[in-house]
Amino acid sequence: MTDATRLRKARAVGINHVALEVGDIDAALDFYGAFLDFEVARRSDSAAFVYFGDQFINFAKGRRQGPDERRISGLRWTTRTSRGGGSRILA
């Protein structure tokens, strides 16, 4: 890649949102709600949009493929009661 090509490209600064397919919307909200403070902006029987800051997760019901063996997600968070934050790998 040349310097000229590098200058034309935008620099990613983060990920705004992710969409996760889940088998049960309520179970997903309970699981993530156990360690994340978020606001449920919209909810239906088939989806929920939860916001934390300027980012959101879209939980979509209805899995059409088999279980994933290698796909993981990682989240980082801070708490008011601890000196550091936390992280968890979610499989």
* pLDDT score for 91: 47
Considering its fold, how many domains does the chain have in total?
Answer: 1
Residues of the domain holding 78: 14-90
Is residue 4 a part of any domain in this protein?
A: no
For the domain that residue 41 is a member of, what is the CATH number?
3.10.180.10
* pLDDT score for 88: 54
Strands of the chain, DSSP E: 17-22, 39-43, 47-52, 55-61, 73-78, 85-90
Positions of the chain with pLDDT lower than 50, given as ranges? 91
* pLDDT score for 1: 60
* pLDDT score for 58: 93
